[in-house]
Structure 1
Amino acid sequence: MEVIFVFFVIIFGSILQGVSGFGLGLFTMGLLPIMFSLKDSTLLVMFLTFMASLSILLKIFKYIEVKGLLIIISAAFTGRVIAFFLLNRFGEIDSFKKVLGIFLIGMVIYLLINKQESSPPILMEPIFPILFGFLGGIIGGVFAVGGPFFVFYFLMIYKEKHRYNANLQVTFVLTSLFSLLMHGVHNDFNTLFYMYFLIGGISVIFGANVGLIWFEKLPRERIKKLALCIVLLAAFNLILFT
């Protein structure tokens, strides 16, 4: 039963990732910590994000713009190093799940009320990719839901959806791989992980590719709102029942 639950959570989350460019972490981290510790959930979602983003990136890699990635990825790596120590110290504390629930509610509210199609020119200054990258790195490294910070930045500088998506996926691939390597060196993975890695890897590649087909055809806003409603319910569940 547990494996089936994880399978369907990952499938739906990876479809969201394919459709909108993000959402796997936001969705799955609202549900997986119900069954696993925060640390185990985060490590599993990092791996899934890496697999989903790599799968998407292989189909749209020609839209990558390296110049626009250097500052934000460097800042994100710094945030991930700090997150590594935070997760190893606090990742087994169940009460930290309530913090995650509160954070998820905040992210949902932000994503629902943010309707801007463009941002003020001042946000193009170097301080902002540094800030968004650093915060996304920390939140992504501890909670595996740092995506909204990167989404905001790439939506701000890329109006063409394929460029936005390709550069967003590069960021997810590199930051997830960076964190996984640090935790691997630290021996943070147990044998149970490898079973979920296998199940999750197959599920996430399938879901991400299905979502990528929808990315080309369906309006993202409708699917995103549905997902955010589910995340909101999961966040309240984390706060009230864990």
Structure 2
Amino acid sequence: MLGNEIFWYEACIVFFAGIVHGILGFGFPMLATPLFALFLDLKKAVLLTLFPTIAVNFLSLKRDNSFGEIWREYRLLIVSIIGGSIIGTNLLVVYYSEYYKLVLAGVILLYLNKARLKISLSHSVATYPVLMTILFGFLSGIVGGIANIMIPVLIILILELNLDKKRAIGVMSFCFITNKILQVLIFGYHGELSTNSVWVILPFVVIAIGGFFIGSRLQDHIDEALYKKILNGVLWVLSLYLTYSTFYM
């Protein structure tokens, strides 16, 4: 059965990623996926995180937003993500390659260097809001389908929309939920999601939710600046290791 041999190690990853998500309002797949990919192929790593990611993002969205409001205001973005997710997930499942780990490493590095790169799309978003929304939604869907992490691409658009923190978390959570539900359907369609694997994954949902609630409680009692430095350090190590392991292991 998928993941049984090293269950407790996997459970620790899910619990830690849940805490991170509870503190920051995002980040579960960004942390859990590369940690799983250290000892599993990327396709299995994505599979193990699908249901826990849906669960913690559902809780994030419901905390300060509603599904109806987000859908009404950002349905163009969400529909664009659906199109990209279908393509990206089919690439992952049907045409899997170890080199997809480089995509995973690349999107982590993009997230870590977003300030240094000083990517600004203010003029383009203001001039062509519909086109840019479709473009970034579609691109983040493809990346999310292949690498399970869409936030580095999505956050570029979110920042340009100048949303407050609560609304930004709501939009990102809705996008993540949409992406993951599509991945569940596509994995199932291609026979990659069996009844046995679902039973293995379900305990991780409970563990992720537990971590999420602990993280939510810690949110107001933690030095966020120091925490983000530590998290960024972990992500740097993971991205470099994934790049190295793709070619040399």
Inter-partner Cα distance in structure 1 for 2:28 and 2:185: 20
Q: What's the Cα RMSD here? A: 2.6
Identical-residue share of aligned pairs (%): 21
Aligned with residue 156 of structure 1, among 155, 160, 165: 160
- Deviation digits for residues 183-202 of structure 1 (CA, Å, limit 9, x no counterpart): 21222124553344122101
CA contact (8 A) 1:77 1:134 kept: yes
- Opposite residue 240 of structure 1, the aligned amino acid is Y
- Opposite residue 77 of structure 1, the aligned amino acid is I
Aligned with residue 166 of structure 1, among 162, 165, 170: 170
Inter-partner Cα distance in structure 1 for 2:138 and 2:176: 13
Alignment partner, residue 137 of structure 2 = 133
The CA deviation at 1:98 is 4.2
The CA deviation at 1:223 is 2.6
1:188 has 2:217 as partner: no
More divergent stretch after superposition (204-213 vs 154-163) = 154-163
CA contact (8 A) 1:21 1:168 kept: no
- Deviation digits for residues 116-150 of structure 1 (CA, Å, limit 9, x no counterpart): 9x962542411221122111101111110112222
Alignment partner, residue 76 of structure 2 = 71
1:89 has 2:94 as partner: yes
CA contact (8 A) 1:13 1:25 kept: yes
Alignment partner, residue 23 of structure 2 = 19
Inter-partner Cα distance in structure 2 for 1:216 and 1:153: 27
**Alpha carbons of 1:133 and 1:188: their partners in 2 closer, same or farther (altered >3 Å)?**
same
The CA deviation at 1:22 is 1.9
**Alpha carbons of 1:162 and 1:100: their partners in 2 closer, same or farther (altered >3 Å)?**
closer
CA contact (8 A) 1:56 1:209 kept: no
SS in 1 for 2:37: helix
- Opposite residue 136 of structure 1, the aligned amino acid is S
- Opposite residue 138 of structure 2, the aligned amino acid is F
Inter-partner Cα distance in structure 2 for 1:192 and 1:40: 14
- Opposite residue 225 of structure 1, the aligned amino acid is K
**How many residues align structurally?**
239
Aligned with residue 7 of structure 1, among 8, 11, 30: 11
**Alpha carbons of 1:237 and 1:164: their partners in 2 closer, same or farther (altered >3 Å)?**
same
**Alpha carbons of 1:149 and 1:217: their partners in 2 closer, same or farther (altered >3 Å)?**
farther
Could you tell me which runs of 5 or more consecutive residues in structure 1 were left unpaired when the two chains were aligned.
none
- Deviation digits for residues 79-124 of structure 1 (CA, Å, limit 9, x no counterpart): 0111122112333x334434433443333223x53679x9625424
CA contact (8 A) 1:79 1:138 kept: yes
Inter-partner Cα distance in structure 2 for 1:231 and 1:187: 32
Instruction: Give the TM-score normalised by the residue count of structure 1.
Output: 0.85
- Opposite residue 90 of structure 2, the aligned amino acid is F
- Opposite residue 236 of structure 1, the aligned amino acid is L
SS in 2 for 1:86: helix
**Alpha carbons of 1:98 and 1:137: their partners in 2 closer, same or farther (altered >3 Å)?**
closer
